[in-house]
Amino acid sequence: MDKRTVLVLGGGTGGLVAASVLRRELAPEDRVVLVERSPKHTFWPSVLWLMSGSRRAEQVQRDLLPVARRGIEVRHGDITEIDPERRRIVVDGDMLAGDALVVALGATLVPERVPGLAEAGGNFYTVEGAMRIHDQISNLQRGRVAVLVADVPFKCPAAPYEAAMLLESLLRRHHVRDETTVTVYAAEPAPMAVAGPAVSQGVVEVIGRRGIDYRPSTKVTRVDPAAKRLYFDSGQEADFDVLAVVPPHAAPEAVRNSPLAGPNGWIAIDPATCETRFANVFAIGDVTTVPLKLGKPLPKAGVFAGGQAEVVAHTLAARLRGRGREQRFDGHGECFIEMGGGVAGFARGNFYAEPVPQVQMFRAGRHWHAAKVAYERNWWRSWF
C-alpha cells in the first residue's frame, strides 16, 4: 500500500494528542507531520498555578523534541495558507501536502480589539502574563484586583473564576486580604452557563463565599492603562491596581483567510466525526464551533480538543489503513475548578445531551485538587 501522509496543524492540546495517536495507529511507513510555530508545548491548566505561584515556567512547558523522537515529524513554522480542497498548506513559504489534514490551530488572542487593553497587560492566557500577575500580586499591599473577561467566546469557561479564587487565596496567604478587593467583570451573563444553571449558581456561590465581587454582563469597551481604569458598555467605570485579563479570542488568521472559515471565522464541523465540509479534512478543539441545541456553542476546552483528537485519529486510521473503526465524539467532558488553598471542585457531563447538556457538579474538596495534579502528571507521561 502507498505511504500516507497526515498533516496535523497545531501542536497544542488537540494537535499533540491527534499526532500521537495517529503515530500509534497508522503504519510505520506513514508520515505524521505536526506543524507548530512554537518550539514548546504548554499544558494550559497548570498556567493558573503558575499565576498563583505553585508552578515555575519550566513545569508548565516542554520542548517538542521528545515528540519528534517518537517518529512524528515536527515542523516548526508559521502556517500562512490552508487549501482544504487539495489538502495543502503553506508553512514559512513551503508547500506541504497530505492525504488528510487535522486542523488544531486553537484560538488567537486579540487584546488589540479593545482599545488600551493590550497596553494595560495582565493577560493570564499567556505564560509571561501569568508570571507577571504573580509578581504584581506578591507586591500588592493594598488595592483592587480586577479579573476581566473581555468578550465571549473564550477558552476554558472556568478559568477566570478559578483565577479570581486563586488570587484571593494568595492575598490571604500574604495577609493583605483585608486591604484588598477582588472583582470579576465578565462579558458573559453567568459563569459556565452551558453547563446549566446549577453549575452557574454553584460557581457564583463559591466566589461569593470568598468575598469576591461578581459583575456579570459587564463588557469592557476601553482601558486607560495609565490611569488604570476600565470603561464598560453600561457607562460604568472601575479602577484597578492589578489586572488579570481573559482577552478577546478570534480564529487564527490562516483559518479566517481559508475556505474553512465560517461566518465568525471558526470552523464548522460534524459534531460527531469532526470532519469539515471537505473530505478528509478534520478540525478539532478551539478553532471549531459546534452549535448545541440550547443555542450556545460547545465550550472551548482542552478536554474536548483531546477527546475529538482521539476520535479523528482512530477514524483516519480506519479510513487510510483499514485499522479499527471510524469513531464518533459523544460530547462528554469534565473540568476541575481550582478554588485555592489546595481545594478544587469538579464538573462532568454530556454536553451533547438534548435539549440541554447534563452536567453534574461534585462537592469541592482536596481530593479534586489532587486529581488535577494527577491529571497534569499523566499528561506529561502520556504524550512526552
Ligand X SMILES: Cc1cc2nc3c(=O)[nH]c(=O)nc-3n(C[C@H](O)[C@H](O)[C@H](O)COP(=O)(O)OP(=O)(O)OC[C@H]3O[C@@H](n4cnc5c(N)ncnc54)[C@H](O)[C@@H]3O)c2cc1C
Residues found near ligand X in the complex (CB under 6 A): 10-15, 35-38, 44-45, 47-48, 78-79, 104-106, 125, 155-156, 159, 252, 254, 285-287, 300-303, 305, 335-336
Residue 145 or 232: which CB sits closer to ligand X? 145
Q: Closest Cα to residue 4, out of 95, 100, 103?
A: 100
Minimum separation from the CB atom of position 199 to ligand X (A): 15
Q: Which amino acid is at 318?
A: A
Residue 45 or 232: which CB sits closer to ligand X? 45
All cell numbers assigned to 299: 465550550
Exposure string over 161-194, b if 16+ CB within 10 A, otherwise e: bbbbbbbbbbbbeeeebeebbbbbbbbbebbbbb
Minimum separation from the CB atom of position 367 to ligand X (A): 16
Separation in Å, CA 147 to CA 199, 223, 323: 20, 13, 48
Minimum separation from the CB atom of position 2 to ligand X (A): 27
Minimum separation from the CB atom of position 324 to ligand X (A): 23
Cβ(148)–Cβ(293) below 8 Å:
no
Q: Give the CB-nearest residue to ligand X.
A: 12
Minimum separation from the CB atom of position 176 to ligand X (A): 24
Residue 6 or 47: which CB sits closer to ligand X? 47
The SS3 call for residue 305 is helix
Contacts of 288 (CB under 8 A, 6+ apart): 266, 267, 268, 269, 274, 308
Distance between CA 133 and CA 110 in Å, rounded? 19
Cβ(372)–Cβ(55) below 8 Å:
no
Residue 79 or 206: which CB sits closer to ligand X? 79
Residue 37 or 144: which CB sits closer to ligand X? 37
Residue 88 or 229: which CB sits closer to ligand X? 88
Cβ(346)–Cβ(368) below 8 Å:
yes
Minimum separation from the CB atom of position 306 to ligand X (A): 8
Minimum separation from the CB atom of position 209 to ligand X (A): 21
Cα 356–chain centre separation: 22
Residue 48 or 220: which CB sits closer to ligand X? 48
All cell numbers assigned to 2: 502507498
How open is the CA angle 238-241-244, to the nearest 5 degrees? 85
Residue 67 or 232: which CB sits closer to ligand X? 67
- Classify residue 19 by its DSSP letter: H
Residue 159 or 223: which CB sits closer to ligand X? 159
| Beta partners for residue 258, in sequence order | none
Minimum separation from the CB atom of position 147 to ligand X (A): 12
H or E element at residue 340: strand 332-340
Separation in Å, CA 12 to CA 35, 105, 271, 301, 333: 10, 8, 20, 12, 18
Residue 9 or 232: which CB sits closer to ligand X? 9
Q: Which amino acid is at 118?
A: A
First-to-last C-alpha distance (Å) of the chain: 30
Minimum separation from the CB atom of position 126 to ligand X (A): 8
Minimum separation from the CB atom of position 330 to ligand X (A): 16
DSSP 165-214: HHHHHHHHHTT-GGGEEEEEEESSSSTTGGG-HHHHHHHHHHHHHTT-EE
All cell numbers assigned to 286: 478551539
